[in-house]
A and B are shown apart, each in its own frame.
Chain A
Amino acid sequence: MTDKLKAIEEKQKAWQEKFRQLKERGGKFMTVSSDPVKELYSPVDLENFNYDRDLGFPGEYPYTRGVQTNMYRGRFWTMRQFAGFATAKESNERYKFLLARGQTGLSIAFDMPTIMGYDSDHPRAFGEVGRVGVAIDSLQDMETLFSGIPLDKVSTSMTTNAPASILLAMYVATAEKQGVSSEKLNGTIQNDILKEYIAQKSWIFPPEPSMRIITDILKFAKDHVPKWNTISISGYHIREAGSTALQELAFTLADGFAYVEAGTKAGLNVDDFAPRLSFFFNSHMDFFEEIAKYRAARRIWARRMKEKYGAKSEKSLLLRFHTQTAGCSLTAQQPENNIVRTAYEGLAAVLGGTQSLHTNSMDEVLALPTEKSAQIALRTQQIIAHETGVANTIDPLAGSYFVEALTNRMEQGAEEYFAKIEELGGVLAAIDKNFFQKEIADAAYRYQKEIEAKERIIVGVNEFTQEEELGIDLLKIDPEVERAQVQRLKQLRQSRDNIRVQNTLEELRKAAQGTDNLIPKILDSVRAYATEGEIIQVLREVFGEYKEKAVF
């Protein structure tokens, strides 16, 4: 320790004496992840801090300060509001509404049957068609979804995992119909099956064939959809399921490294696919903890990709990410307050250097957003961009004793989790042992107990409560939507060339039983208007279904 630092430490000790004689307000001083926070941070907390090694400059290794040289001085983040409901026609109208109001990218929410690989007329889809997203059964629906939206002009993110290959194929086929070649397409499929087993639980096949589909996508996209983000490695759902910020960070990056290992094991060069991997994080209420999480994420990814996985291309080192504000932080009570929560969360994401952002609507805890609440949510990030001034300078919180100490702590904590996961035999083995699921359930329960014990105050929930009538309108999905979608599907099954459908599905089955890349076969089936459910059924028959060991 230098003399200068020693002198500061002495002074700090004296200050601490004074501080301890004063009464503190009640409650625990901890982050939203129950991590204790000290009353003061100073140079003493950053004893071994090395600017060059730990931060560097924006767009330079280890990218702690951001992945681009000019960050928001070049352009703002992409404002990408997640939307989708009812049928392709209604959702298409909502996308046009959002684009007309200045949104710069699309993000598609699918309904549960589409997410789980069931057609709208499957018995398991009953009551769920178009409820939490848009129902997409075939290429026909996809064509309607993007009608009047030129696919060479927008970038589109699709929240799809187990059936990601099929929805990507539908997107490519829709572009073909618009005369746009697949090389020009910009967008993202979530395609992160590991976090499905860990947290979001929308799986279909067991892990092994699921990982094969993913590596098939990586190979296909490299040659045919080179600008596409092939996996959006997601912490969002891990957090929503109740994890801490550190768990979100560590488990997500561990998943990321597992994909890198799977890709290289499948014979790909790491630099051929790693540049197309992107990330998706949550932004919860604890402002500084979130910012530290994003900064640590960039640094960890860059270091490991370079040092452990031998990436040579600079693009492989860049952790680019989308952020969504925390749905789980919103309250059903006094829902207008959620506008305020979302604004702070959005601000944290921007100060953490996000590449794109979804700000939640105030009513999402109750229903899908109305047009009005969706507009306020978009306006929230426009206000952050244009009015707050936070985007004028890059990574403005760098050098803050607290933020840098927290960033270091995040990195160390993540490294400890990586070691533990390794010890358990890797991500798939840890899933099988329920390691992640248990960690998350423990954190979720602790959080709930803290609220009930009032160790944590949530405005309007356990303090400042009031009797109220809900003062906002909610979006209702007409049950007629389901009937009409089922009807359209029936007509499609009658009007298409069913022999061609059968033949393409048979080709797909053969590929699944062998080792050929599945994606070209899926694309052929999609072009023949085979439905998502039919394609999944073929794969389900070959690959089987995943069953979870349910624990609580």
Chain B
Amino acid sequence: MEERKIRVLVAKPGLDGHDRGAKVIARAFRDAGMEVIYTGLHQTPEQIVEAAIQEDVDVVGMSVLSGAHMTIFPRVKELLDENGADNIILMGGGTIPDDDITELTEKGYAKALFTPGTSTDDIVAWIRGAVQ
């Protein structure tokens, strides 16, 4: 039987338009053989969770460069859980200070967070490991 491709939703929450990282990572996932859905900009947590469920993804990756990560990650995680989608892995990246990364991952609001300069290969490898 053919192995199911990993499905990833690359999401860009918040009001800012910094989509360089989101687009680069979306291409890297696609080049790594994953199915990628990109939400486009300015998505609300509700829109992101709805898309994740509708697209039946394994992973939601959020790119946040607006400084709003401490409200957005908990909100999306809460909505995923409320909608019975707690099996979807929530991860992300952006300009997120170390202390905030520790807090978000320790509290389970994100499985992993990557900062600028991370190699896309590392992120692909992390997702492959996490999805298995």
Contacts and interface: CB of A to CB of B under 8 A. Distances in A.
Interface string B25-41: 01110100000101111
B41 A444 contact: no
Nearest to A465: B117
A112 B120 contact: no
A124 interface: yes
B66 A128 contact: yes
A477 B20 contact: no
Interface string A442-467: 00110010011000001011100000
Contacts of A365: 95, 116
Given A332-B115, A332-B116, A444 B20 contact: yes
B14 A112 contact: yes
A538 interface: no
Given A367-B95, A550-B41, A445 B24 contact: yes
Interface string B6-48: 0000100011111110111011101000001011111010000
Contacts of B38: 550-552
B121 interface: yes
A186 interface: no
Nearest to B36: A552
A128 B24 contact: no
Contacts of B67: 128, 131-132, 367-368, 477
B40 A548 contact: yes
Contacts, number: 103
A550 B116 contact: no
Contacts of A128: 14-15, 66-68
A448 B26 CA distance: 12
A116 interface: yes
Interface in A426-444: 441, 444
B15 A116 contact: yes
A116 B117 CA distance: 28
B15 A241 contact: no
A208 B12 CA distance: 26
Interface string A494-528: 00000000000000000000000000000000000
A118 B38 CA distance: 25
Majority secondary structure, B binding face: loop
Contact of A441 (B23, B72, B95, B121): B23
Interface residues of A, number: 45
B15 A242 contact: no
A468 to B, nearest CB: 10
Interface string A325-360: 000100111000000000000000000000000000
B54 interface: no
Interface stretch (A135-143, A194-202, A281-289, A394-402): A194-202
B16 A444 contact: no
A332 B41 contact: no
A115 interface: yes
B86 to A, nearest CB: 22
Nearest to B17: A201
Contacts of A452: 119-121
B34 to A, nearest CB: 13
Contacts of B30: 552
Given A131-B67, A548-B40, A112 B15 contact: yes
A97 interface: no
B129 interface: no
A336 to B, nearest CB: 15
B24 A112 contact: no
A131 B22 contact: no
Contacts of A154: none
A366 interface: yes
Contact of A550 (B27, B40, B44): B40
A113 interface: yes
B132 interface: no
Contacts of A477: 67
22 contacts: A112-B66, A126-B71, A127-B70, A127-B72, A128-B15, A128-B66, A200-B17, A201-B19, A202-B15, A240-B18, A241-B20, A331-B117, A365-B116, A366-B95, A441-B24, A441-B27, A445-B28, A452-B120, A462-B119, A474-B97, A550-B40, A552-B38
Given A200-B17, A552-B30, 15 more contacts: A113-B15, A127-B72, A128-B68, A131-B66, A132-B66, A199-B17, A201-B17, A201-B18, A202-B15, A202-B16, A242-B24, A550-B39, A550-B40, A552-B22, A552-B27
Interface of B: 10, 14-20, 22-24, 26-28, 30, 36, 38-42, 44, 66-68, 70-72, 95, 97-98, 115-117, 119-121
Interface of A: 112-113, 115-116, 118, 124-128, 131-132, 196, 199-202, 240-242, 328, 331-333, 365-368, 441, 444-445, 448, 451-452, 458, 460-462, 470, 474, 477, 548, 550-552
